[in-house]
Structure 1
Amino acid sequence: MALAEIPLCVWRKRSQSFVFRGQTIRYWVAGQGEPLLLIHGFPTASWDWHYLWQPLAQRYRVIACDMLGFGDSAKPMGHEYCLLEQADLQQALLAHLGIDQPVHLLAHDYGDSVAQELLARHQEARSNIASCVFLNGGLFPETHRPVLMQKLLLSPLGWMIGRAFTRDALVKSFRQIFGPQTRPSESELDDFWSLIDNNRGTRIMHKLIQYVPQRRVHRDRWLTAMQSGEVPLRVIDGEVDPVSGAHMVERYRQLIADADTVLLPGIGHYPQIEAPVQVLKHYLAFREELDSPALKIACS
């Protein structure tokens, strides 16, 4: 079974916008039911979820935005980008939509860090999270293995590297992190590049990459929230991802009691693009377990 993709041109036409702290943010909403917030990664955008969008919208009210500095949202040059502000943005979007009930999270890469912040706020009674599923991301700074382009962007010459970043550079980076049999097509690469390059996004890549050191600052607080057991968690991870693959899952199992993890053989850093059918299957199984009477009794 294959999942139908949503072409980027169609995806863009379905977007809506709201203003967050003076900046225009593009967002998408579909479906009915419990709210499910999808949080994308670096350096791409919410279109990453397009294979899963319709199947999830048949069951839940799915919500996603291009975060500040990403995709079709505003990319102010003079801004200092911060993971905590991106969490503020997600909460502002939920408030804009009038959602005040518990929210389920499905996050990837950079979005994992935003989700970790929302989990910490849940523990501090500043957000209301029902569950969280992480796809490949640097949940623990000690396991994050940045690719060369990330290292260069983090260097003092990062501003020059970002301005010189091209579609060819994106292709080289994606070849490193996708599975050997699941690399994106030329058309998909065109679309990824369109989202990165829109609003002259390469000018701020060196600013966005500052999420890497920010993760170190918040590691212990985020880990405490994950270890609390207050929110059901699952990791669905592409095993051969050199950045946050099997080695990250091994660390997760060391740190999180009764760790719920799924490894996808042969899949790299973008499982929602490379293996959307598998991701959907494992995500829906996770949600079915949450709704099972036995679990509800055990948690009551």
Structure 2
Amino acid sequence: MSGVGAIGLDEWRARARELAFRGQPIRYWTAGEGEPLLLIHGFPTASWDWHKLWQPLAARYRLIACDMLGFGFSAKPRGHAYSLIEQADLQQALLGELGIGGPIHVLAHDYGDSVAQELLARHCEGRIELASCVFLNGGLFPETHRPVRLQKLLLGPLGFLIGRLFSRRSLGRSFGRVFGARTQPSEAELDAYWQLIAHNNGVAVMHRLIRYMPERIEQRERWVSALQRCSVPLRVIDGAADPVSGAHMVARYRELVPSPDTVLLEGIGHYPQAEAPEQVLEHYLAFRQRLTTAECSR
């Protein structure tokens, strides 16, 4: 897979800064100047997911990203009741730490889409100010989410054991099913993804992190309502070949969201920012240019 200025994992880790969130160390990254853009990663990886887009986006915007609680190089406390609501609290705490009050642009993926939906709902409630939100492949609607076998097993009664048995080989099989046929991750990329998951024995909390799936169901009406009624400009950029949240999810989005702005990337799977970074960058910048043009015409 090609990149548009990819950053190696070792270099990425060396650039990290640290924030204390409710007594837990959280690693985060910033770069660039201009309008703030908050990037929110997915499950089960971390904010290194954005490494192929980081430098070109940082040339235009002030980027903010963290490894959420339980992910990547951040703390992974055992026995913790992980929740998407808390992860949204973390995003707001990070923005507060950096003195950013808004308006905030958001670019999210997968698990991060749900965190972004919570932030969008909070925007509707006057608790944060968002300027725009772009979603990559994710479970925006529980009824269209098609979890892979690993996710189903983690959610079951033996989830704690499944997590502990999860390995680099398991990761390769799982990612092989959700990436596009012609955009498979390299062995080096899989090694890096595995390092992020395994750091601080992350496999021991995977069965707790997976509770986001029922939480999506619990919050569905509030989150979908936010998509439908908030005035925040939205776009979906989606890998169409993704079996989890691909073209079928976009079809549902078009049914439910007024004036839907969607882009389907043919042949691309669940990780478009890794599989087709140039296309994601092109469509994201076009979205932002349209917002700028609209603002200037007022």
Q: How does 1:126-145 map to 2 (within 5 A)?
A: 126-145=127-146
The separation in 2 between residues aligned to 1:264 and 1:20, in whole angstroms, is 37
Contact 1:103–1:128, Cα closer than 8 Å, also in 2: yes
Structure 1, residues 215-234: CA drift from partner, whole Å, max 9, x if none? 00000101111111410000
TM-score (ref. length: structure 1): 0.98
Contact 2:102–2:128, Cα closer than 8 Å, also in 1: no
Name the structure 1 match of 2:111: 110
Name the structure 2 match of 1:260: 261
The separation in 2 between residues aligned to 1:145 and 1:226, in whole angstroms, is 20
Name the structure 2 match of 1:216: 217
Counterpart amino acid of residue 25 in structure 1: I
Name the structure 2 match of 1:194: 195
The separation in 1 between residues aligned to 2:46 and 2:241, in whole angstroms, is 22
Contact 2:27–2:67, Cα closer than 8 Å, also in 1: yes
The separation in 2 between residues aligned to 1:215 and 1:229, in whole angstroms, is 19
The separation in 1 between residues aligned to 2:82 and 2:296, in whole angstroms, is 39
- RMSD value, Cα: 1.0
The separation in 2 between residues aligned to 1:177 and 1:293, in whole angstroms, is 36
Name the structure 1 match of 2:37: 36
Q: Which runs of 4+ in 1 moved over 6 A?
A: none
Counterpart amino acid of residue 152 in structure 1: L
CA 288–157 in structure 1, closer or farther in 2 if over 3 Å, else same: same
Report how far residue 205 of structure 1 moved.
Answer: 0.2
How many percent identity over aligned positions?
A: 67
The separation in 1 between residues aligned to 2:296 and 2:90, in whole angstroms, is 32
Report how far residue 2 of structure 1 moved.
Answer: 4.6
Contact 1:289–1:295, Cα closer than 8 Å, also in 2: no
Structure 1 unaligned segments of length 5 or more: list them.
none
The separation in 1 between residues aligned to 2:224 and 2:112, in whole angstroms, is 16
The separation in 2 between residues aligned to 1:172 and 1:163, in whole angstroms, is 16
TM-score (ref. length: structure 2): 0.98
Name the structure 2 match of 1:45: 46
Contact 1:290–1:296, Cα closer than 8 Å, also in 2: no
Report how far residue 4 of structure 1 moved.
Answer: 2.0
Counterpart amino acid of residue 283 in structure 1: Y
1:290 maps to 2:291: yes
Structure 1, residues 33-77: CA drift from partner, whole Å, max 9, x if none? 000000000000000000000000000000000000000000000
Report how far residue 295 of structure 1 moved.
Answer: 7.5
Name the structure 1 match of 2:166: 165
The separation in 2 between residues aligned to 1:64 and 1:277, in whole angstroms, is 20
SS of structure 2 residue aligned to 1:153: helix
Name the structure 1 match of 2:66: 65
The separation in 2 between residues aligned to 1:240 and 1:11, in whole angstroms, is 29
CA 287–170 in structure 1, closer or farther in 2 if over 3 Å, else same: same
Contact 1:152–1:161, Cα closer than 8 Å, also in 2: yes
The separation in 2 between residues aligned to 1:176 and 1:32, in whole angstroms, is 37
The separation in 1 between residues aligned to 2:271 and 2:231, in whole angstroms, is 27
SS of structure 2 residue aligned to 1:51: coil
Name the structure 1 match of 2:238: 237
Report how far residue 293 of structure 1 moved.
Answer: 3.9
Name the structure 1 match of 2:281: 280
The separation in 2 between residues aligned to 1:218 and 1:230, in whole angstroms, is 20
SS of structure 1 residue aligned to 2:73: coil
SS of structure 1 residue aligned to 2:157: coil
Aligned positions, number = 297
SS of structure 2 residue aligned to 1:292: helix
